[in-house]
Amino acid sequence: MGDCGTAQRISREVWQLAGHPVRAGQSMWRPFEAQTPQTQQRTLEAAAIAMDLLESGDLTGRGDAAPLFLPEPDVSITPGPPRQTHKSLEDRWQDLADALKAVIEDAKTNPNSARQLFAMMTMYPRGDAATHNQRVRANFEELGISLDFLSQ
């Protein structure tokens, strides 16, 4: 065997993993085509094991052809960020109506929520502020929100 040092050790390990003698028992190198079918089979088995070790990274290839045995890099294109689904205008209005119902229900039992809702509803009065505030108070009474919560 003409290899020396690390290369010889690695070559011997590959043949050992294949369960065959080094170089399939050949004492001299012969072209693959000149080998017996049994020797060809053993050589192919050892080559397959060596390629598997190279691909898995358990064996480091040497020489210019070494990168040929590395797994191909992942070149798939990702679909990118998920597309935002836009709700229809009707769905957005329904979401707003549902949120308002939830706020009103909470304001019926929670003084802090009642005060926050009142502050929001009176933030931008239409016309006279006092008249607007009275309308909001009347709406609160109609909705069942205690006006006592506003003074707490």
Q: Are 95 and 87 in contact (CB under 8 A)?
A: yes
Looking at residue 33, the DSSP 8-state letter turns out to be G
Give the global pTM. 0.44
Least trusted range by pLDDT, from 76-80, 95-99, 130-134:
76-80
Structure tokens at 152: 């707490």
Number of Cβ within 10 Å of residue 56's Cβ equals: 9
Structure tokens at 3: 């290899």
Who wins on pLDDT, 82 or 46?
Answer: 46
For the segment 56-85, the average pLDDT, to the nearest whole number, is: 81
Who wins on pLDDT, 92 or 10?
Answer: 92
Who wins on pLDDT, 98 or 64?
Answer: 98
Residues of the chain above pLDDT 90, percent: 51
pLDDT at 81 over 60: yes
Closest of 111, 95, 96, 125 to residue 140, by C-alpha: 111
Helix or strand (DSSP H, E) at 17:
helix 5-18
- Rounded CA-CA distance 140/108 in Å is 9
Looking at residue 64, the DSSP 8-state letter turns out to be T
Who wins on pLDDT, 108 or 17?
Answer: 108
Who wins on pLDDT, 74 or 50?
Answer: 50
